[in-house]
Amino acid sequence: MDLLPKALGTRPRLAVEIRPEGVIAARAEDAAAVLTAVSQGLLSQGAVAPGLRHGNIVNRAATVAAVKKALEAVTLRERETSVVIPDTAVRVLLLDFDSLPAKAVEALPVVRFRLKKLLPFDADDAMVSYQVMSTTKNMVRVLAVAVPREVLAEYESIVREAGFEPGAVLPSTLASLSGLEQIDGPTLVVNVGETSVTTAIVQAGVLLLHRTVDLTAEGIVEVKPAEVQPSFEVPAELLALPLVDPDDSAGEWAMQKPVTGYGVLDDEHISAEAEMQARLLQEQLERELAEELEREAIAQTVLPAFAREMGAKEPERMTAAAREVTQAVNVAVAYFEDTLHTHPETVMAAGTMGAGVLRELMHESGWASLGDVRNMQVNEMVELAMLAGGASTTRAPQGWLAGVRGALRS
C-alpha cells in the first residue's frame, strides 16, 4: 500500500521517527524492509511538543543530538533519510470527489481548494500531498495530507542540523500503514503515544478511516502549573450572564398552574413512590460500587503496565489516557459495525504502547463479553521476523519500529 509520494521514485534506505517520547532510527537494505540496524534514543518530557503551529521542537539541542546519534548508529554511508513526524503535526483527511484530473499538477490545486474550508490553518501556506485511494464510476476517494510549512521546516531543519538530508516525510500512522501486509479483511491499527492516539482502518490496501485524538488538546496531558486555572474561579462567560430579578419574574410565577396528576399524592402513592425511590437509590449505589471496583482493578493491573510502556508517572494522567485509548478503539469498532457490518478480526499495535498492554486495556473495558470480539487478535505491527542482523538484538520496543519500517518499505 503506497501512502504518500516517494522521494525520487524510491524512499531512502534510512528512516528516523521523531516522537515526543524519543527518536528511533533504522536501516533496511531493500524494499522488503527487513531491518538490519536499529537505534533508539529517549527525550526528556516536553522536548518535542507536536502541534499545528511553530514551536514543535522545544529543546532543539537535545532533539538534534538524539537524531544525530540515532542515525549515525545505523547508517553505513547514506545521508538521505525518510522522516516520520507525529500525527498531531499534520492533518490527514479522506475526501470524495465526483471526478479528479489524472495529472497531479492539475489535481493538486483541486485538492488544495477543497482543503481550504477543512483545515485549521491556511491551505495555501501548507505542504499538501494526496493519493487516490479508490475510484468508482461516480466517485474518487482521495487521501489528503497537509502540514503547515513552518512546522514541516522545523522537523526538516532538525535532520539537516544532525548532518542528514530529509527525503520523504510521512506522518507516523500513515508510515506504519505502509509496512502493513495487504489482506482482504479489514484491519484496525492503533498507534498510541504520550500525547496522542490514532486509529486507522484498512481493507484490501484501502484506507477507510483515520482519526487522531490530541491528548494535549483534550486536557489529558498535564499542562504547566501557571496555565492551570483555580477550580473555584468562576469563568468570565458565566459572570457575563444576566441575573434573575425576583420582582420582574414574580408575574411569571403567579401565572403558573399545577399540572394535573403530578405533585399531589395520597398516602398510598407516597408509599409506592418512597419504595421506588429507595429501590432506584440501591441500584445506583450498586452500580457505583461495581464501577469503583472495576477502576481499582484497572489501576492495579493494567495501568501500571501502561505507565511503564509510555514512560509516565502520574496515575491520574494514565487513567485518563487509558480511557481515551479505549474510547478511540470503541469509535473505530462502531465504524466497523455501522459501515462494514462486521467486527475487526485483527488489531495491530504501533507506537509506544505494546500489543500486550493494548490487549489488557481492551479486555478490562469489557471487550471479552462482546461475542465475536472475544476472538479478536491484538498483534504487534512489527514482528521479530522483520528484524535481522544487529536489529534482532535491539532493546527498542517493537511498537516503536512500526513507523520507520513502514517508511523503509517501498
**Region 267-294 average pLDDT:** 61
The dihedral sign for the CA sequence 334, 338, 343, 345: negative
Q: Which amino acid is at 384?
A: L
Which residue's C-alpha cell is 532538525? 158
Mean predicted confidence (pLDDT) in 373-382? 77
Handedness of CA 311, 314, 315, 319 (dihedral sign): negative
Helix (H, G, I), strand (E, B) or coil at 327: helix
Q: Does residue 214 carry a pLDDT above 70?
A: yes
Q: Looking at residue 34, what DSSP letter applies? A: -
Cell numbers representing residue 290 in the block: 461495581
DSSP 209-242: EEEEEETTTTT-SPPPGGGPPPTTPPPHHHHTSP
Query: Mean pLDDT, to the nearest integer, of 110-138?
Result: 94
Can you tell me the distance from the alpha carbon of 154 to that of 49, in angstroms, rounded to the nearest whole number?
12
Look at the block and give the residue holding cell 498507534: 191
| Bigger pLDDT: 47 vs 267 | 47
pTM (2 decimals)? 0.75
Query: Which of the residue ranges 163-177, 283-297, 322-336, 363-377 has the most confident prediction, judged by mean pLDDT?
Result: 163-177
Q: Give the confidence band of 401 by pLDDT, cuts at 50, 70, 90.
A: very high
Split at pLDDT 50, 70, 90, the class of 384 is confident
- 195 neighbors 221 (Cβ within 8 angstroms): yes
State the pLDDT confidence band at 68, using cuts at 50, 70 and 90. Answer: very high
Task: Please report where in the chains the cell 421506588 appears, as a residue.
Answer: 276
Tell me which of 24 and 378 has the higher pLDDT.
24
| Domains contained in the chain, CATH given | 9-227+303-408 (3.30.420.380)
Q: Are 357 and 307 in contact (CB under 8 A)?
A: no
C-alpha–C-alpha distance, residues 212 and 87, integer Å: 7
Spatial CA neighbour of 43 closest among 18, 25, 16, 73: 18
Q: Give yes or no for a contact between 69 and 16, defined as CB atoms under 8 angstroms apart.
A: no
Mean pLDDT along residues 275-304? 59
